[in-house]
Chains A and B, each alone.
Chain A
Amino acid sequence: MMHDFAVRIGPVGFRVGSDWRAPVAALADLYRDYPAPQDGIADFTVRLFADRPWRRFIRPRVMIGGDYVLPEAAPLSLRHGLLAAEMAMNLQMALGQRRFLLLHAATVERDGRALVMTGESGAGKSTLAALLMTRGWRLMGDEFALLDPESGMVYAFPRLISLKNRAIDVMAAAAPGGRFGPLLADTPKGAIRHLVPDARSIAAMETPARPALILFPTFGHDDAAREVSPSEVFVRLTQASTNYVSLAERGFTALTRLVTTVPARAIDYPDTERAIARVEALWAAL
């Protein structure tokens, strides 16, 4: 690979190799405050390459690859190279992570305790996590919560926050001093813009937190909250985990412990302000 970049996000080291300079330069800039992989050894290798040799130069298209690949992955245009790099890093985690039970969830921390928010794509968990980060919470991650089967603690994975469509303007207003990546228009997921987690979240990324509340937010018309039973949480989190099956009994033990010891609520919210108010009220009542 002609261009190369390495970074550590939480406990995970990545090396990204690319046929083109631009995606690697964008990553290096946005991740400039992050450390290098521990002992220089990456857990996962990501490759961005041209699907045909001439595609490196003519209407360039980026294929993503690495230690783990999805055979049906479609190429992205080079102007979405940053998105391709982020997707490739997520893919390596989703398919290859063995140390932690991976939950598709956004996590924030306060007073050493973690709030884990999970839900369908579009439920607003990235936006809520980013907003909470601007209001005194530490952002642990907007995509994956890493549950340690041995200790029951959640480890942070504070990659770039991926803001989509309306969330881009919401966060531009809420975090005027934030570092944003370039606006990526017309991607397969709509408009995307990355936000760099704040300095505090990056500095504390090696510190795990004890999970204290599991939240299932749904954006909609209602403003309501309800308890979620441990068995429902268990089913939802097996579905929200990308590696539950491959962790076998370690995954089962980690997840049953989580759902039997941590309370869970589902909230419906019509706007982010009321969602934040709900979160603060639920947190205060713990």
Chain B
Amino acid sequence: MTSRYRAAPPGAIVAVRLDMLTALYHRASGQTHLLASPAPEILDALADGPLTADTLLDRLRAAYDLIDADAGALAARLEELVDTGLVERR
């Protein structure tokens, strides 16, 4: 079965855009993260509900006019986010 990814629900994280990077406070773990694009965009897209990697890629492509969207790169970013605890794989 295809994995679905889900981000921390709205209210579980506090995000502040600093410049090219976004500072993010994860209330559940008390950890601070500094994220570069596209990680904040991925979290936004996953905030409304779980998505498969393919659906997520479609959403990002539509929302941000991506022309060089790359499923392999997205999978790598998703795994990094899973490692931080900001995204859950199920």
Question: Which residues of A does B touch, CB under 8 Å?
Answer: 229-231, 234-235, 238, 244-245, 248-249, 252-253, 256, 259-260
Contacts and interface: CB of A to CB of B under 8 A. Distances in A.
B32 interface: yes
A238 B32 contact: yes
Interface of B: 14, 16, 18-21, 23, 25, 27, 30, 32, 34
A260 B30 CA distance: 21
A199 to B, nearest CB: 40
Given A230-B18, A252-B25, A235 B30 contact: no
B23 A245 contact: no
Given A234-B18, A249-B27, 5 more contacts: A245-B30, A249-B25, A252-B23, A256-B18, A260-B16
A235 B20 CA distance: 14
Given A249-B27, A252-B25, A235 B34 contact: yes
Contacts of B21: 231
Contact of A256 (B16, B20, B27, B30): B16
Contact of B34 (A231, A245, A248): A231
B16 A231 contact: no
Contacts of B34: 231, 234-235
Contacts of B20: 229, 231
A66 to B, nearest CB: 26
B25 A260 contact: no
Contacts of B23: 231, 234, 252, 256
Nearest to A260: B18
A248 B18 contact: no
A252 B14 contact: yes
A253 B14 contact: yes
